Homo-oligomer: A and B are copies of this chain.
Amino acid sequence: MEQQGLTERERRAWRTSFEMTELLRARIEQQLQADSGLSNADYTVLALLSEAPDGRMRPYELGQAANWEKSRLHHQLTRMCRRGLTGRERCGNRGVDVVITQKGLAALADAVPGHAQEVRRLFVDRVTPEELDLFAGIAAKILDGLRTDQPSG
């Protein structure tokens, strides 16, 4: 008897939201890629590292901050190290520090304005300030649920 589980209203809400986020992410990434040669993932890592004291973090913390699986993070860092955007430095016995390089800082600084402008153009300026707060508030609620739900949380 396969009940859908979602009402028509809920299904449409989900589809619209899903489609919007898919498309938005793709656009943001395209701009970033075209203008700075960075992916969204690159940008996230660079931004997080640049905000950390001394521009360095343990991979574990970085993974927590970005909500990434360790494996994804590792591959990402390997690619970024190969491109000279980040570096790895051994610190303890089995500890590694990820550091942002000068080149990484430069790439980030280069990317920030265009990225911010695109986020504004496609997202922030599309809605009223009240709507933006509302949207972010609801997103935060959902995000909170996602975090407290997972096995590793």
Contact residue among B9, B127, B147 (Cβ-Cβ distance under 8 Å from A141): B127
Q: Is the CB of A17 within 8 A of B67?
A: no
Q: Is A95 an interface residue (CB 8 A)?
A: no
Q: Which of A54-62, A80-88, A96-104, A132-140 is the interface stretch?
A: A132-140
A131–B13 Cα gap in the complex (Å)? Answer: 11
Each complex incorporates copies of this chain amounting to 2
How large, as a class, is the contact surface on chain A?
Answer: 35 or more
Tell me whether B14 and A119 are in contact (CB under 8 A): yes
How near does chain B come to A143, taking the closest CB pair, in angstroms? Answer: 4
Q: Decide: B136 and A13 in contact? CB cutoff 8 A.
A: yes
Residues of B within 8 A of A9 (CB): 133
